[in-house]
Protein backbone atom coordinates (compact mmCIF):
# COMPACT_ATOMS: atom_id res chain seq x y z
CA UNK A 1 0.00 0.00 0.00
CA UNK A 2 0.99 3.60 -0.44
CA UNK A 3 0.68 6.04 2.42
CA UNK A 4 0.70 9.80 1.89
CA UNK A 5 1.52 11.84 4.92
CA UNK A 6 0.89 15.57 5.26
CA UNK A 7 2.97 17.88 7.44
CA UNK A 8 5.65 16.78 6.76
CA UNK A 9 4.80 15.74 3.18
CA UNK A 10 6.11 12.29 2.37
CA UNK A 11 5.01 9.07 0.69
CA UNK A 12 5.76 5.65 2.13
CA UNK A 13 5.15 2.14 0.79
CA UNK A 14 4.24 -0.68 3.14
CA UNK A 15 3.27 -4.33 2.74
CA UNK A 16 -0.39 -5.04 3.45
CA UNK A 17 -3.01 -5.89 4.35
CA UNK A 18 -2.76 -4.26 7.78
CA UNK A 19 -4.98 -2.63 10.34
CA UNK A 20 -4.84 1.15 10.54
CA UNK A 21 -3.56 0.95 14.14
CA UNK A 22 -0.60 -1.20 13.02
CA UNK A 23 0.24 1.22 10.20
CA UNK A 24 0.28 4.17 12.56
CA UNK A 25 2.47 2.25 15.05
CA UNK A 26 4.99 1.35 12.34
CA UNK A 27 5.15 4.97 11.20
CA UNK A 28 5.44 6.16 14.82
CA UNK A 29 2.39 8.40 14.38
CA UNK A 30 0.18 9.32 17.33
CA UNK A 31 -3.32 8.07 16.37
CA UNK A 32 -4.91 11.09 18.06
CA UNK A 33 -2.98 13.49 15.79
CA UNK A 34 -4.22 12.30 12.37
CA UNK A 35 -7.25 11.18 10.42
CA UNK A 36 -6.81 8.31 7.98
CA UNK A 37 -8.57 8.48 4.62
CA UNK A 38 -8.87 5.95 1.77
CA UNK A 39 -10.63 7.44 -1.25
CA UNK A 40 -13.73 9.13 0.18
CA UNK A 41 -13.85 6.95 3.30
CA UNK A 42 -12.66 7.89 6.77
CA UNK A 43 -10.94 4.86 8.32
CA UNK A 44 -11.06 3.85 11.97
CA UNK A 45 -8.10 2.26 13.76
CA UNK A 46 -9.62 -1.24 13.67
CA UNK A 47 -10.23 -1.26 9.89
CA UNK A 48 -8.12 -3.39 7.54
CA UNK A 49 -6.28 -1.69 4.66
CA UNK A 50 -5.68 -3.72 1.49
CA UNK A 51 -2.22 -4.16 0.00
CA UNK A 52 -3.16 -2.18 -3.15
CA UNK A 53 -4.75 0.75 -1.28
CA UNK A 54 -3.67 4.37 -1.26
CA UNK A 55 -4.31 6.02 2.09
CA UNK A 56 -3.68 9.53 3.31
CA UNK A 57 -2.80 10.69 6.82
CA UNK A 58 -3.99 14.22 7.47
CA UNK A 59 -3.22 16.14 10.63
CA UNK A 60 -6.11 16.89 12.94
CA UNK A 61 -6.61 20.61 13.21
CA UNK A 62 -8.75 21.98 15.98
CA UNK A 63 -9.93 25.45 16.51
CA UNK A 64 -12.42 27.34 18.49
CA UNK A 65 -14.34 30.51 18.81
CA UNK A 66 -13.24 33.51 20.71
DSSP-derived 3-state class of residue 32: helix
Q: What is this structure's pTM?
A: 0.86
Return d(Cα 21, Cα 19) in angstroms, integer: 5
Write out pLDDT tens, residues 27-61.
999 999 999 999 999 999 999 999 999 999 999 98
Fold for domain 2-59?
Ubiquitin-like (UB roll) (3.10.20)
Amino acid sequence: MKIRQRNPDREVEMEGPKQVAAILRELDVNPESVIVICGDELLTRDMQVADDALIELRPVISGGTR
